[in-house]
């Protein structure tokens, strides 16, 4: 049995690629069902956020990685393997543990990913069973331990707060400024909190569901707007932060152009932290308009990460220990049925040979026949004792899966699943770029 994760992230793909392959929550069940059917997978899960789209596959799939590239490539409209990476077995476990702990995030230690991993697990329950359920549950436990036992997340910036800090490059200080937030989700609320803490004088909140905008605005002393008229107020604000879940652009160039004509030479900062992006890219070509998206945040946060980076060795040591614990469990899970099959197959061979021998020894007394039966069983048990003991020991020390695969191959016990090394082709494993 093999465990595989295949996908892309902000490390390997620009925002214009990520936004086209992201899978929105309502789509997840259908995409999971398609992936499970196409690969004959017994276990598959999907994690799709603003910075990554990854497919996790447990046992029982064939051609899983090409299938992932094909599915994501169809969303992109071109080959996607060049943007992708594949992690197998222990590396796949380590990868999810790092992701859930915020160690693989654009902003080191950010907390939102923990909830996103939890939500991904919940929405994948129909196609995630013993191995993936334990993998995702343990990743959340490990992430909690990383946050509580290290300082890697202490004082960590979120995407929202980093975006607000980016706006200060334009205005210096936000005190007395006017801002508008599009959206009313968690990221939008974090952004609104950051804006208010920076001294923004007036904040407007617009959301497609007006009641949610009202609730968010009241909670933070802002003013709610109806979504269909937000663009009429663009000329009144200095900063626009966009964080909706719309699948298409909601802020067009013409909207901003009209606002800028009313603003004169005053600069206008737009922070687009949505994926897919809320703001048309050509908006940034307008005079005195400063448009930033998710990929622009990386340079902002780099300078503030040194202290948290010092905590990485402690966090990674913790994760390495937990990876071994998980993999030992997986190895034990795989070893038990294979060992049972091995002994059963060897017993059938013993029985066939005993019966063949006794047909040629018809003169034997019942007592002699019983002695032959005991001899054949004792001999088989002697032969199988040491391999059985060593297989169990290998499971306990983390080498069980390699021994299990060797046992399957040498004794033709059963076909190895699609994720086993002998079934992996070179094109399955692009290196992360």
Catalytic residues: 50
The number of angstroms, rounded, from the C-alpha of 158 to the middle of its chain's C-alpha atoms is: 18
Q: Compute the C-alpha angle 187/302/220, nearest 5°.
A: 25
Pairing between β-strand 268-272 and β-strand 289-292 as defined by DSSP bridges = parallel
Q: What is the DSSP letter of 305?
A: -
Peptide bond into 284 cis (omega under 30): no
- Is-contact 110 159, C-beta < 8 A? yes
In order of 18, 210, 277, 310, the CA distances from 300 in angstroms are 20, 33, 19, 19
- Is-contact 412 50, C-beta < 8 A? no
- Is-contact 15 277, C-beta < 8 A? yes
In order of 14, 54, 210, the CA distances from 433 in angstroms are 12, 15, 43
| Residues sharing a CB contact under 8 Å with residue 81, sequence separation 6 or more, in sequence order | 69, 73, 427, 430
**At residue 205, what are phi and psi to the nearest 5 degrees?**
-125, 125
| Residues sharing a CB contact under 8 Å with residue 380, sequence separation 6 or more, in sequence order | 346, 347, 350
In the chain, how many H helices and how many E strands?
A: 15, 10
- Is-contact 288 267, C-beta < 8 A? yes
């Amino acid at each position: 049995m093999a465990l595989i994760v295949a996908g892309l992230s902000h490390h390997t793909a620009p925002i214009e690629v990520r936004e086209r392959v992201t899978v929105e929550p309502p789509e997840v069940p259908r995409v999971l069902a398609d992936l499970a059917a196409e690969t004959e997978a017994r276990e598959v899960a999907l994690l799709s956020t603003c910075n990554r789209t990854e497919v996790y596959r447990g046992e029982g799939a064939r051609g899983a990685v090409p299938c992932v590239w094909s599915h994501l490539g169809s969303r992109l409209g071109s080959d996607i393997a060049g943007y992708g990476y594949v992690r197998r077995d222990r590396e796949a476990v380590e990868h999810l543990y790092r992701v859930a702990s915020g160690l693989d995030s654009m902003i080191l230690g950010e907390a939102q990913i923990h909830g996103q991993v939890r939500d991904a697990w919940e929405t994948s329950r129909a196609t995630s069973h013993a191995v993936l359920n334990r993998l995702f549950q343990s990743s959340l436990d490990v992430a909690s331990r990383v946050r509580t036992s290290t300082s890697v997340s202490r004082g960590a910036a979120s995407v929202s707060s980093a975006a607000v800090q980016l706006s200060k490059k334009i205005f210096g200080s936000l005190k007395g400024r006017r801002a508008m937030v599009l959206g009313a989700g968690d990221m939008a609320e974090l952004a609104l909190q950051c804006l208010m803490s920076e001294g923004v004088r007036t904040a407007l909140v617009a959301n497609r569901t007006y009641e949610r905008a009202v609730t968010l605005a009241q909670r933070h002393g802002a003013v709610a707007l109806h979504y269909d008229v937000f663009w009429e107020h663009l000329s009144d604000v200095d900063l626009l932060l966009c964080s909706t879940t719309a699948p298409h652009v909601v802020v067009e160039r013409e909207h901003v152009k009209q606002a800028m004509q009313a603003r004169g030479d005053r600069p206008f900062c737009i922070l687009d932290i949505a994926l897919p992006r809320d703001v048309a890219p050509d908006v940034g070509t307008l005079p005195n308009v400063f448009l930033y998206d998710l990929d622009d945040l990386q340079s902002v946060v780099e300078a503030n990460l040194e202290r948290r980076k010092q905590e990485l060795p402690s966090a990674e040591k913790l994760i390495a220990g937990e990876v071994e614990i998980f993999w030992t469990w997986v190895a034990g899970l795989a070893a038990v049925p294979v060992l049972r099959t091995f002994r059963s197959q060897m017993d059938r061979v013993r029985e066939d040979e005993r019966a063949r021998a006794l047909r040629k020894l018809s003169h034997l007394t019942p007592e002699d026949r019983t002695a032959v039966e005991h001899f054949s069983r004792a001999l088989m048990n002697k032969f199988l004792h040491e391999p059985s003991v060593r297989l169990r020991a290998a499971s306990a020390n983390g080498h069980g899966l390699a021994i299990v695969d060797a046992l399957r191959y040498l004794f033709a016990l059963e076909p190895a699943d699609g994720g086993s090394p002998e079934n992996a082709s070179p094109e399955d494993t692009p290196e992360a770029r």
